[in-house]
Structure 1
């Protein structure tokens, strides 16, 4: 049995090394700062959220309509949250939703001309912002290394079953306290 397996079996958690912990927090902070700036830009220029932009981008780059499940697998967001965001985009006339001809259980999502126009409107500012905040301080080699590293990390994480395949958690009633504990 390996040290890793025995640690997992006993419930012992190997702490992160200081350099791992530092890399973890730097990554989270950089992603948060970038996402916040992008969110502000999208709200100001297109009156859409970052998640809505992700949905429009996925639909824009897809060869055709996508199902809600395909969108859920591509965007890291809860199913109920995705349904809500898609409803807002549909109400704004940026997408349409309807039955999927290949699968009666699926909902097909299509980008409208207005959605395509809005995506084209916000994209130049999004690219400028991404370049200024993320890519300007990096050399070409840095960009290559970052792409390689993040691709490995993403692929490792994506090797797990997609979120849409995970069973939904059922809410259970909170057990009542015994009579003596309630007093």
Structure 2
């Protein structure tokens, strides 16, 4: 019979440190992104991901999975960016059921405006207290944890359940 798992003080400390660092860094980054480009964190992730993509385009579903955000939430964020002229959306050429999102020149300009402050903030808050060797170790550890967690697809990547035809609440 196995007992409930427990955490050592070191494991618990590592977990709480990770959560606190993540929260502090995200708060500072969100503030910088708002001030420099009037972007939310998710909007920045979306633009940065598109900026790195071949042709500056990705399918909406792939974007949602990559930034670990709900499909509906990402659709809303993409709509806000499209209204500002920072992205365009169009039916996918490869899959007519999918929507492709493409970064525009204006979107690239906003990224160019926010990146210097973003990189400066990362250096100041995250990288400054670390040696190059520390950064390599953190990158190695977090990459392994991320890959382990990504082995189970995010909810946004899970197949959608089909409702029985004619069932109660069937909206199809």
On whether the aligned pair clears a TM of 0.5, the verdict is yes
- Indicate how the Cα distance of structure 1 residues 13 and 87 shifts in structure 2: closer, same or farther if over 3 A, else same: farther
- Indicate how the Cα distance of structure 1 residues 131 and 169 shifts in structure 2: closer, same or farther if over 3 A, else same: farther
- What are the ranges of 5 or more consecutive residues in structure 2 without an aligned counterpart? 163-167
Mean Cα displacement is larger for which, 12-21 or 55-64? 12-21
The TM-score, its normalising length taken from structure 2, stands at 0.89
**Contact 1:52-1:89 at 8 Å conserved across structures:** yes
- The Cα offsets for residues 102-143 of structure 1, whole Å up to 9 and x where unpaired, read as 101110000001000000010000000001100010011101
- The Cα offsets for residues 46-85 of structure 1, whole Å up to 9 and x where unpaired, read as 1110110000000000012100011011102122211111
Which of these residues, 6, 29, 35, is aligned with residue 44 of structure 1? 35
Is residue 147 of structure 1 aligned with residue 139 of structure 2? Answer: yes
Which of these residues, 79, 83, 88, is aligned with residue 91 of structure 1? 83
**Contact 1:73-1:162 at 8 Å conserved across structures:** yes
**Contact 1:100-1:106 at 8 Å conserved across structures:** yes
**Contact 2:88-2:104 at 8 Å conserved across structures:** yes
The TM-score, its normalising length taken from structure 1, stands at 0.84
Asked which structure has the greater CA Rg, the reply is 1
- 2:124 aligns with 132
Which of these residues, 22, 36, 40, is aligned with residue 31 of structure 1? 22
- The Cα offsets for residues 33-56 of structure 1, whole Å up to 9 and x where unpaired, read as 000000000001111101100000
Is residue 78 of structure 1 aligned with residue 60 of structure 2? Answer: no
CA distance in 1 between partners of 2:100 and 2:4 (Å): 43
| CA-based RMSD | 1.7
CA distance in 2 between partners of 1:165 and 1:38 (Å): 27
- Indicate how the Cα distance of structure 1 residues 116 and 20 shifts in structure 2: closer, same or farther if over 3 A, else same: same
**Shift >6 Å, 4+ stretches:** none
